[in-house]
Chains A and B, each alone.
Chain A
């Protein structure tokens, strides 16, 4: 029984084993291997592209190759902004295995790059392959780093990849603060942050290149051949309409103006080609050093230091944005009396006034409840149209404005281009601020007629002035003339855009005449530039609010153009809050305008035409008389229009003062030396300041000196204001002393 069961069970067990083995094979080979195959199929075929992309993403290192930023040139091809090669120091600290190596690297790097040892040492402890130690190092530092790398590889094994230098570029501004508010600067990633650098960033930047290489997980080599290079395309270059010479002249005198008039909130000067709209100079004085745009002036720093701790950061950022601000386009102000040239143009163009129109000024006008005073409180009495302009008489202009009427006023306001930004290619241009809902009450019209009550930008005012100067055409001001690519192909060239004819050519010509007479009559304080026909208008406008308790803040401005009969350039000079002896446009801005224009106009090769009385004060170039016999020299000097004084007993001229090619007034005295002894004679320079032209002339001849006259010499009441060589200096006889004259009628508008 037992045997039988056993036998059966054994047979059953064997069958069971076979059956179960079949199941087992099915499970392992069909289910198990099947599942594995399905899983692999999914991963390799379905999900493959995604996983491969992820894998490639980590295997390929995409290095950006910086492109060289384009150069910014002035109109004459001088370089205003340029990028130069610098290097970025990158450390791969994961290769440093011993603390001794880390300390060695940290010690040397911190020494070469002038960094804190602790900071560098902390970086060497990281377990990565890319730590930026310092950006933008110069070539001398690079040399030292390369030397150090040599030393390091000699000293320890496997150090060749520890320090890498990557090419980079740094922006240089050779003229430092010249046209700083226009050019702007770039940030640490070479991106334009202000001015042209910002506005034309996409042109200047270029296209960064890429190097895509396969790297192993340690970021070192991999035999897998994959390298793809996309060449960096350097940025385009920009040529501005700004002329470095004109810009420098303007900046020089603007800086002086700031100091002379104790100007608190900077000043603006814009010089524009009236026919094209090209900006020849745009100054926000003082500028800042574009190479160090985050360095505040000492005065600002002191002011910030005085503040409580909490406010400092805010104050610093405010001071920086004020420093970077391009006031010429970003600030709005009441144009004041300068605007009278527009009001007058409107009335003239509408035929509401003519030369004989008469206006009366009793010193003040009352419109409803408002009493508006003329700056000349005594009243100008009865004036014709030109006199109203020349006197800058507010009551007269209220009457002129009334003749135009609010609707026409608004129409011309728009037509002159005040109601919209000029569209100049610079960032941050402000809009005007006109009366609410574009509605003008009678009072509004009254104050508007002399430029109060609405705010415009300096560039808008200058554009309007240019339209008067160029025969009534409103042009769009621009600052970038051409954009050229790396190969010199012109990508973009700015053409003049005429927006509209705002006043007729006749009106414009007439206005030019009035404005020219205005300057001629007013002298230096009305913008008269000796030898040139200049038209212009002064302005003093009140500011809303005040910076100093007890004082009103003003903006002193002057806007003019030259030559008046065939205008080439218009210039606006604007000082925000002068706190010196005077705040009037005539005393603060007009002299600066004159100084600038008297250098800019000759530079532009505009022929000077001197009046008879001026001619004798015009400088002539002295010839060379050295080596000639005394007689011949005297004759030559005489034919050049000079008188001569012979010193010494020799027969030949061995030297002369003034020297050859120097400028002396016609009729000046040339001292001819015939021996060395006589050359030792010295003359003491007297005081030339405070005299009339004729007095200065006779003083000079008494002392045996030459005087070069600058400034306004034609006006009867011209008074000398400064001299180039200080009183009491010992000079040789015949030396040229430059004496500047000012004076003329002072209009306190």
Chain B
């Protein structure tokens, strides 16, 4: 899809910007222009004819090459997310005998957000092409994290603590997967048609990661990793045929599981997935407590909601409303209309992220940007499917909304990468 009207505007703006910059550069050559490193794409011929100049923008020079709409969407979502997270979390924080402080979560989230925004803006100056080198290392870190988290003594091995913050291992994994496949896809873009370069690494990496996630257990994590893997391979150019085969195999597997009753069994095992309202035993009732109360909250919202701060389900009925289930409280307080508006902002963000990435001047940037943008969209969809009991209730947080230091900082850092990509995307060919 071609970027349309905005591109023209952008182009004009950038032209003006370039002229201004050139003037500046002419007048004072205080900073010697850093020689831009070529991306590690050996196959790509040295683009002498289309030499690009990366815009050197300063932090407070807003809009200088940095995609302002995307940044604004990120900040809007961050603010709405924090307000809603505060609204959802304060009763839990207040009534908890351990915490006993209504502002416990929001205070921390605000600090994380501040760090995250700083990181985002900082990273937006960072040349993402340097991440080529980092991709395999990141993948290795992901594996280490996934193994390490299994060694933490707990019933569910999803997090480990480093200092004051909890890190969810799959957060690293998601980024590692996107980064690696962006790297891989830009490296072997012309060989992606062959199974050896697409299906094989896909199955190897996804399979091994999924196996580790299964041990945690983290079913929705597997789902999100699977989707990310497929998305990355798909946009990298994998043959649709393999995808179709995989899809058909999946459908048959699900049908088979459904026919043999294995699916129901699995659903029961997966924390009573899909059975929140039809619990039969006390145990099931306990297991599906969170999901059921999430449904109650969502249903209570109706069209216009109970009003900001007026949720009742957050009064300890919905456990941990600050985490994955924050959107249930959003639905209860702001209603269907409010939920749709927030979804719309998310959609705009994803749209903007993907389209600006498409305009990136190199394949790595395109793939990485699209991957990171679509990850947000996918995560929003999966999170809402979890809180509405269409997916098992296993830890998919809602970007910008859910409480959590590591995930918020990491998310904003990733947004910084997209912004970084947007800078190259906005450079005109010279």
Chain A interfacial positions (CB closer than 8 Å to B): 6, 9-10, 13, 16-18, 20-25, 28-29, 32-33, 35-37, 39-41, 43-45, 47-52, 54-56, 58-59, 97, 158, 214, 216-218, 220, 222, 224
Whether A222 lies near B347 (C-beta < 8 A) is: no
A48 with B300, Cβ < 8 A, contacts A21-B235, A25-B1 known = yes
Does B310 make an interface contact (CB < 8 A)? Answer: yes
Whether B358 lies near A21 (C-beta < 8 A) is: yes
Does B295 make an interface contact (CB < 8 A)? Answer: yes
A158 with B97, Cβ < 8 A, contacts A44-B336, A52-B299, A55-B300 known = yes
Does B59 make an interface contact (CB < 8 A)? Answer: no
Top 5 A-B residue pairs of the complex, sorted by shortest distance between their CB atoms:
A51-B299, A217-B316, A55-B296, A216-B315, A32-B381
Measured between beta carbons, the chain A residues less than 8 angstroms from B43 are 6
Residue of A nearest to B43 (CB): A6
Does B126 make an interface contact (CB < 8 A)? Answer: no
Whether A21 lies near B370 (C-beta < 8 A) is: yes
Measured between beta carbons, the chain B residues less than 8 angstroms from A218 are 95, 316
Q: Which of A36, A43, A44 contacts B380 (CB 8 A)?
A: A36
Q: Which of B97, B346, B390 contacts A39 (CB 8 A)?
A: B390
Distance, CA A393 to CA B1, complexed state (A) = 123
Chain B interfacial positions (CB closer than 8 Å to A): 1-2, 43, 91, 95, 97, 189-190, 231, 234-235, 237, 293, 295-303, 310, 312-313, 315-317, 331, 335-336, 339-340, 343, 346-347, 350-351, 354, 358, 363, 366, 370, 374, 377-378, 380-381, 384-385, 388, 390
Measured between beta carbons, the chain A residues less than 8 angstroms from B339 are 40, 44
Measured between beta carbons, the chain A residues less than 8 angstroms from B363 are 13, 17
User: Measured between C-beta atoms, what is the minimum distance from B30 to chain A in Å?
Assistant: 38
Given contacts A13-B237, A44-B301, 11 further A-B contacts (CB under 8 A): A17-B237, A17-B358, A17-B366, A21-B370, A22-B1, A24-B374, A32-B377, A37-B340, A45-B303, A48-B299, A224-B312
A18 with B299, Cβ < 8 A, contacts A10-B190, A28-B381, A40-B331 known = no
Distance, CA A55 to CA B189, complexed state (A) = 53
Whether A45 lies near B388 (C-beta < 8 A) is: no
Residue of B nearest to A16 (CB): B237
Q: Which of B95, B296, B377 contacts A58 (CB 8 A)?
A: B296
Whether B385 lies near A39 (C-beta < 8 A) is: yes
Whether B381 lies near A35 (C-beta < 8 A) is: yes
A54 with B296, Cβ < 8 A, contacts A17-B235, A59-B312 known = yes
Q: Which of A16, A39, A214 contacts B384 (CB 8 A)?
A: A39
Whether B317 lies near A216 (C-beta < 8 A) is: yes
Measured between beta carbons, the chain A residues less than 8 angstroms from B95 are 216, 218, 220
User: Measured between C-beta atoms, what is the minimum distance from B240 to chain A in Å?
Assistant: 9
User: Measured between C-beta atoms, what is the minimum distance from A55 to chain B in Å?
Assistant: 4
User: Measured between C-beta atoms, what is the minimum distance from A625 to chain B in Å?
Assistant: 86
Q: List 16 A-B contacts (CB under 8 A).
A: A10-B190, A18-B358, A20-B237, A22-B1, A29-B377, A32-B381, A41-B336, A43-B295, A45-B336, A51-B299, A51-B300, A55-B317, A216-B95, A218-B95, A218-B316, A224-B312
Distance, CA A13 to CA B351, complexed state (A) = 21
A224 with B302, Cβ < 8 A, contacts A39-B390, A218-B316 known = no
Whether B299 lies near A47 (C-beta < 8 A) is: yes
Distance, CA A47 to CA B298, complexed state (A) = 10
Distance, CA A55 to CA B350, complexed state (A) = 34
Measured between beta carbons, the chain B residues less than 8 angstroms from A17 are 235, 237, 358, 363, 366
Whether A24 lies near B190 (C-beta < 8 A) is: no
Whether A18 lies near B1 (C-beta < 8 A) is: yes
User: Measured between C-beta atoms, what is the minimum distance from A713 to chain B in Å?
Assistant: 81
Q: Which of A6, A25, A47, A58 contacts B317 (CB 8 A)?
A: A58
Residue of A nearest to B336 (CB): A44
Q: Which of B293, B336, B347 contacts A33 (CB 8 A)?
A: B347
Whether B384 lies near A36 (C-beta < 8 A) is: yes
User: Measured between C-beta atoms, what is the minimum distance from B344 to chain A in Å?
Assistant: 9
Measured between beta carbons, the chain B residues less than 8 angstroms from A220 are 95
Residue of A nearest to B189 (CB): A13
User: Measured between C-beta atoms, what is the minimum distance from A57 to chain B in Å?
Assistant: 9
Whether A217 lies near B317 (C-beta < 8 A) is: yes
Distance, CA A13 to CA B346, complexed state (A) = 28
Residue of B nearest to A216 (CB): B315
Measured between beta carbons, the chain A residues less than 8 angstroms from B377 are 28-29, 32-33
Whether B298 lies near A21 (C-beta < 8 A) is: no
Whether B378 lies near A44 (C-beta < 8 A) is: no
User: Measured between C-beta atoms, what is the minimum distance from A170 to chain B in Å?
Assistant: 35
User: Measured between C-beta atoms, what is the minimum distance from B279 to chain A in Å?
Assistant: 12
Whether A21 lies near B1 (C-beta < 8 A) is: yes
Distance, CA A24 to CA B190, complexed state (A) = 20
Distance, CA A55 to CA B298, complexed state (A) = 10
Distance, CA A36 to CA B302, complexed state (A) = 15
Distance, CA A50 to CA B292, complexed state (A) = 13
Whether B231 lies near A24 (C-beta < 8 A) is: yes
Measured between beta carbons, the chain B residues less than 8 angstroms from A50 are 299
Distance, CA A375 to CA B1, complexed state (A) = 122
User: Measured between C-beta atoms, what is the minimum distance from A1 to chain B in Å?
Assistant: 15
Measured between beta carbons, the chain B residues less than 8 angstroms from A49 are 299
Measured between beta carbons, the chain A residues less than 8 angstroms from B385 are 35-36, 39
Measured between beta carbons, the chain A residues less than 8 angstroms from B91 are 216
Distance, CA A52 to CA B312, complexed state (A) = 11
Measured between beta carbons, the chain B residues less than 8 angstroms from A56 are 300, 312
User: Measured between C-beta atoms, what is the minimum distance from A218 to chain B in Å?
Assistant: 6
User: Measured between C-beta atoms, what is the minimum distance from A3 to chain B in Å?
Assistant: 9
Distance, CA A140 to CA B96, complexed state (A) = 37
Measured between beta carbons, the chain B residues less than 8 angstroms from A25 are 1, 350-351, 354
Distance, CA A47 to CA B331, complexed state (A) = 14
Measured between beta carbons, the chain B residues less than 8 angstroms from A59 are 312-313, 315, 317
Measured between beta carbons, the chain A residues less than 8 angstroms from B350 are 25, 28-29
Measured between beta carbons, the chain B residues less than 8 angstroms from A224 are 310, 312, 315
Distance, CA A120 to CA B43, complexed state (A) = 80
A24 with B302, Cβ < 8 A, contacts A39-B385, A40-B339 known = no
Q: Which of B299, B310, B313, B374 contacts A43 (CB 8 A)?
A: B299
Whether A44 lies near B317 (C-beta < 8 A) is: no
Distance, CA A54 to CA B312, complexed state (A) = 12
Residue of A nearest to B91 (CB): A216
Distance, CA A24 to CA B372, complexed state (A) = 13
User: Measured between C-beta atoms, what is the minimum distance from B291 to chain A in Å?
Assistant: 12
Whether A52 lies near B190 (C-beta < 8 A) is: no
Measured between beta carbons, the chain A residues less than 8 angstroms from B335 are 44
User: Measured between C-beta atoms, what is the minimum distance from B347 to chain A in Å?
Assistant: 5
Measured between beta carbons, the chain B residues less than 8 angstroms from A216 are 91, 95, 315-317
Measured between beta carbons, the chain B residues less than 8 angstroms from A51 are 295-296, 298-300
Whether A52 lies near B315 (C-beta < 8 A) is: no
Residue of A nearest to B328 (CB): A43
Distance, CA A13 to CA B239, complexed state (A) = 12
Distance, CA A594 to CA B312, complexed state (A) = 75
Measured between beta carbons, the chain A residues less than 8 angstroms from B351 are 25, 29
Whether B358 lies near A222 (C-beta < 8 A) is: no
Distance, CA A25 to CA B358, complexed state (A) = 12
Distance, CA A588 to CA B400, complexed state (A) = 96
A43 with B388, Cβ < 8 A, contacts A21-B235, A55-B299 known = yes
Residue of A nearest to B289 (CB): A217
Whether A33 lies near B381 (C-beta < 8 A) is: yes
Distance, CA A553 to CA B91, complexed state (A) = 77
Measured between beta carbons, the chain A residues less than 8 angstroms from B340 are 37, 40
Distance, CA A267 to CA B127, complexed state (A) = 109
User: Measured between C-beta atoms, what is the minimum distance from A14 to chain B in Å?
Assistant: 9
User: Measured between C-beta atoms, what is the minimum distance from A212 to chain B in Å?
Assistant: 14
Measured between beta carbons, the chain B residues less than 8 angstroms from A214 are 312
Distance, CA A45 to CA B295, complexed state (A) = 12
Whether A24 lies near B370 (C-beta < 8 A) is: yes
Distance, CA A36 to CA B331, complexed state (A) = 12
Q: Which residue, of B310, B312, B377, has the highest number of chain A Cβ atoms within 10 A? A: B312
Residue of B nearest to A60 (CB): B312
Whether B336 lies near A40 (C-beta < 8 A) is: yes
Whether A20 lies near B315 (C-beta < 8 A) is: no
Distance, CA A13 to CA B363, complexed state (A) = 10
